[in-house]
């Protein structure tokens, strides 16, 4: 099977200005990968004729399939056709079925159509026209000097409809025998990207199918495994074998797959154990509970939370001993454990987790900024408390404490 080098070009100044995100390229790459098509370049270019033409020339030299989104609309800054005409010298004509559809739309809306809307019905002579069932401008597939050019609107729902209905089947037929590319995402917590890469160094360096790629994210680290095979079953086998090799080395940090979140995983574990959790938060101020409750079905395992930022709330609501506070302080392991144990009683929970510490701007009770104590207690008598010193500004300390709480809780309830 011939391999086709593919690239995606997005036309639109609004993309360069950051007014909208280039989600089209991401979506297209995912769809192409499922068909075994390698995408080597993503390019964004503004609405400038000479620059669009320059990018088109570059793409024509290096790629076999070029997919262009945007620049097919009715205004003067929609220049995709004009730029490609400069490259190909192909004739442009008005596509009557598309023009009839546009006219019919305005008639049904009882609105007068401005003349510039005729621009949207223009296509290259000899092009395979892609009908637009949810919008105005048609797409096109053009063969020029043995290269395939696919022109699609920039509006995502129009682009997706044309891609699924026409562009992908065309590409599949063009390629002949189809290769399958499948991926799995493994999610880890409690290990940094550099350490994860170090632990998997030999596997990463020697594995080419599937490939192993560690990626840092806000809530931990993921590894993306990507396999290429002639069948879905063969790709799945390759992925499962490599997944096991990864887990043999760093399985203690693994908590989920694909779109699993740590809060989803923890709630699922609590449900299986028929247990409820209660939360007591001082420095995190409700961040942990907010993230936990963001998961669908949280009410099945979470009783609630108490934000006990002031000392009086710790003593009056959570019933933390004044002796503990006077002798150990509110920023202490003893206070964290009492908060975790007492929130179980107050909220009728099986497991309690607590957060207390110093987010800044200054030290508290002689403890430096970044000091955090996280306590976990269960009604069966199991307890755990850990001290951390996090770097960063106030909100960074709070966020890192919240994430560390999820990590500790996961291992606490893991069976």
CATH code of the domain in which 294 resides: 3.90.950.20
pLDDT at 282: 97
pLDDT at 2: 67
Same domain, 369 and 294: yes
Across the range 148-171, mean pLDDT stands at 93
Across the range 90-99, mean pLDDT stands at 93
Across the range 81-95, mean pLDDT stands at 95
Same domain, 132 and 13: yes
Q: What is the mean pLDDT of the chain?
A: 92
pLDDT for 101 beyond 80? yes
Last residue of a domain, one of 207, 235, 257: 257
Give me the domain span that covers residue 376. 262-413
136: domain CATH number is: 3.40.980.10
Spatial contact of 40 and 64, defined as CB atoms under 8 Å apart: no
What sign results for the dihedral spanned by CA atoms 240, 244, 250, 255?
A: positive
pLDDT at 110: 86
Of 176-190, 270-284, 287-301, minimum mean pLDDT range: 176-190
Give the pLDDT band (50/70/90) at residue 61.
Answer: very high
Same domain, 287 and 407: yes
If one counts every other C-beta atom within 10 angstroms of the C-beta of residue 89, the result is 8
Same domain, 251 and 275: no
pLDDT at 176: 74
pLDDT at 42: 97
Same domain, 268 and 409: yes
Give the pLDDT band (50/70/90) at residue 266.
Answer: very high
pLDDT at 1: 54
Same domain, 266 and 252: no
Question: Which tens digits make up the pLDDT trace of 312-360?
Answer: 999 999 999 999 999 999 999 999 999 999 999 999 999 999 999 999 8
Same domain, 156 and 292: no
Same domain, 285 and 239: no
208: domain CATH number is: 3.30.70.2860
Give the chain's radius of gyration (CA, Å). Answer: 29
Tell me the C-alpha distance between 303 and 277, whole Å.
6
Question: Which tens digits make up the pLDDT trace of 192-248?
Answer: 888 998 999 999 888 778 888 887 777 788 998 988 888 889 999 999 999 999 999
Q: pTM for the whole thing?
A: 0.66
Same domain, 288 and 406: yes
Tell me the C-alpha distance between 227 and 386, whole Å.
40
Last residue of a domain, one of 210, 240, 257: 257
Same domain, 159 and 250: no
Question: Which tens digits make up the pLDDT trace of 303-325?
Answer: 999 999 999 999 999 999 999 99
Across the range 24-32, mean pLDDT stands at 90
pLDDT for 141 beyond 90? yes
Q: Which residues contact 278 (CB under 8 A, 6 or more apart)?
A: 302, 303, 304, 305, 306, 343, 344, 346, 347, 348, 349, 351, 352, 353
Domain count, the chain: 3
Burial (CB < 10 A; 0-12, 13-18, 19+), residue 411, is middle
Percent of the chain with pLDDT over 90: 75
pLDDT for 152 beyond 70? yes
pLDDT for 281 beyond 90? yes
Same domain, 75 and 156: yes
Burial (CB < 10 A; 0-12, 13-18, 19+), residue 308, is buried
Last residue of a domain, one of 155, 175, 195: 175
Sheet containing strand 383-389, strands side by side: 302-307, 277-281, 351-357, 371-378, 383-389
Which residues in 205-326 belong to E strands, given as ranges? 211-217, 220-229, 254-257, 277-281, 302-307
Same domain, 66 and 151: yes
pLDDT at 299: 95
pLDDT at 262: 94
């Amino acid at each position: 099977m011939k391999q086709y080098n593919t690239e995606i070009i997005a036309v639109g100044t609004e993309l360069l200005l950051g007014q909208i995100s280039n989600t089209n390229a991401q979506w297209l790459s995912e769809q192409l990968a499922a068909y075994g098509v390698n995408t080597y370049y993503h390019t964004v270019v503004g609405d400038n004729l000479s620059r669009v033409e320059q990018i088109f020339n570059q793409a024509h030299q290096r790629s076999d399939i070029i997919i262009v989104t945007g620049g097919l609309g009715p205004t003067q800054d929609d220049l995709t056709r004009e730029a490609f005409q400069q490259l190909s010298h192909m004739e442009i004509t008005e596509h009557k079925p598309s023009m009839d559809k546009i006219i019919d739309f305005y008639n049904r809306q009882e609105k007068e159509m401005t003349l510039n809307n005729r621009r949207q019905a223009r296509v290259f002579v000899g092009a395979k026209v892609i009908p637009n069932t949810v919008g105005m401008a048609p797409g096109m597939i053009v063969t020029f000097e043995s290269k395939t050019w696919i022109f699609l609107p920039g509006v995502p729902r129009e682009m997706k409809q044309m891609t699924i209905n026409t562009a992908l089947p065309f590409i599949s037929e063009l390629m002949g025998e189809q290769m399958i590319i499948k991926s799995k995402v493994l999610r880890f917590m409690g290990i940094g990207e550099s350490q994860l890469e170090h632990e998997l160094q030999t596997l990463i360096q020697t594995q080419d199918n599937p490939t192993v790629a560690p990626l840092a994210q806000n809530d931990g680290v993921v590894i993306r495994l990507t396999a290429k095979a002639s069948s879905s079953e063969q790709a799945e086998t390759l992925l499962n074998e490599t997944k096991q090799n990864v887990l043999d080395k760093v399985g203690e940090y693994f908590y989920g797959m694909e779109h699993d979140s740590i809060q989803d995983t923890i709630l699922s574990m609590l449900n299986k154990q028929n247990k409820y959790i209660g939360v007591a938060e001082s420095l995190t101020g409700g961040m942990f509970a907010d993230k936990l409750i963001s998961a669908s079905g949280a009410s099945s395992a979470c009783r609630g939370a108490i934000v006990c930022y002031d000392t009086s709330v710790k003593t009056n609501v959570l019933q933390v001993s004044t002796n503990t506070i006077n002798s150990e302080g509110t920023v202490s392991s003893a206070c964290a454990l009492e908060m975790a144990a007492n929130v179980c009683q107050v909220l009728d929970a099986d497991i309690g987790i607590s957060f207390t510490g110093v987010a800044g701007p200054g030290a508290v009770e002689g403890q430096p900024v970044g000091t955090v104590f996280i306590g976990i207690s269960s009604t069966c008598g199991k307890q755990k408390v850990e001290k951390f010193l996090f770097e960063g500004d106030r909100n960074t300390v709070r966020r890192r404490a919240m994430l560390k709480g999820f990590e500790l809780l996961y291992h606490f309830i893991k069976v």
